[in-house]
Every structure is written in C-alpha cells, then in structure tokens.
Structure 1
C-alpha cells in the first residue's frame, strides 16, 4: 500500500474553501487534469482516468459539518482518499489531501502523485481566490 499527503494554507474562511472543493460542477477546475468525475446518483460517481482510459465506479461523500470529502473505488478497492479543510485563524484555512493506493498497479508512482496533488491544491487555491475576490468586490 502507498500513501501520499499534501497540505496547503489558503487565504479564505474554511467554509468558503470547503464549498469550492465540494462543488461537483467545479471539480474539473481543480482535480488532477487526468481525472474526470461524472456524478450519477450520489454518492455514486464514475471517475475517468486519461492515463488508463478506464472509467472506474467510485463513491464520493461530502461531510459539510466536518468540512471533509471522502472518495474511493466501489468494486475493486484500488484507492481511497480524503480532503479536509480546517480553519487556522485570521481568515485562513489549511487544506489537506490524502490518497491511499491499495492496488500497486493503480498507483501511478510517487512523483506523478505528488505533482498531481501539488497541481490540484494550486488550482483549488486559484478557484478559492477567484470566488473570494468576486464575493468581496
């Protein structure tokens, strides 16, 4: 099993960050570029991976009261992950994303996963900044 985790501080209230992260209509704006989520009948979703060309049945759950998203494959149990938003004071938040790969063949490797996590957190921060800026002005 391989596990990866990255965190980033974002200049917004945790509720704003979580709302942006949990907005399924905006997933493509911040998820890794090679992943596409099709929401069917929540919590059921399908994840398309460009790398493998596969459509994988998955589950996605949002826990707004905990400011947490959780996901994972439905049938194979290949991977699971979560995103947690926490307030750190002064109007800022910390976002942590954690991925667990239970199937070695499903793990794209440390470099690829770390790049994808960093890119996703960067894009999520951009989306949060756009939303906060638009709300403020």
Structure 2
C-alpha cells in the first residue's frame, strides 16, 4: 500500500470550503483534470480516468458533521481517499487530502500524485475564492 497526503491553508471558513468541495456536481472544478465523476444513486458514482480510459465504479460520501469527504473504488478496492477541512481561526482553514493505493497498477507515482493533489487543492481554493467573492459582490 502506498499513501500520499498534502495540505493547504485557505482563507475561508471551513463550512464554505466543505460546501464547495462536497457538491458532487462541482467535483470536476477541483479534482485532477484527468478524472470525471458521474453521480449515480449516491453514494455510488462512476469515475472516468483519462489516463487509463476506464470507467470505475466508486463511492463518494460527504460527512458534513465531520467536515470530511470520503471516496474509493467499489469492486476493485484499489484506492481510497479522504479530504478533511478544519477551521484554524481568523476565518482560515486547513484542508488535507489523503490517498491510499492498495493496487500498484492504479498508483501513477509519487511525483504525479503530489502534483495532482497540489493542483487540486489550488483549484479548490480558487473555486472557494470565486464563491466568496461572488457572494460578497
């Protein structure tokens, strides 16, 4: 098993970040660009991965009471992940995303995963900023 984790501090309340991240119809706005999520009957989703061209049956759960998202493959059990949002005071939050690969064939490698996680957190921060700016304007 290989695990990866990245964190980012964002200048927004945890509730705003969680609401943006957890909206299943907006996942593609912040997920790695090579992943496309089609919501089924939640928690069931289908994830299309451009890298492999595969459609993968997965689960996606949003736990608002914990400010946590959880996801993973269903039949294959090849990977799981979570995103945790924690308020750190003064209107800022720490967002941590974690991936666990149980099947090496699904692990694209440390550099690719690190870059994808950093990019995803950056894209999520931008989506939150746009939402907050739009609400204020």
Distance 1:19 1:119 in 2: 19
SS of structure 2 residue aligned to 1:120? helix
Partner residue, 1:56: 56
1:25 is displaced (CA, Å) by 1.4
Unaligned runs of 5+ in 1: none
Distance 2:20 2:128 in 1: 6
Partner residue, 1:127: 127
Q: Do structure 1's residue 92 and structure 2's residue 92 form an aligned pair?
A: yes
Distance 2:135 2:13 in 1: 12
Count of matched residue pairs: 137
Unaligned runs of 5+ in 2: none
Which TM-score applies when normalising by structure 2?
0.99
Distance 1:60 1:43 in 2: 5
Distance 1:96 1:111 in 2: 18
Partner residue, 2:37: 37
1:136 is displaced (CA, Å) by 1.4
Partner residue, 2:20: 20
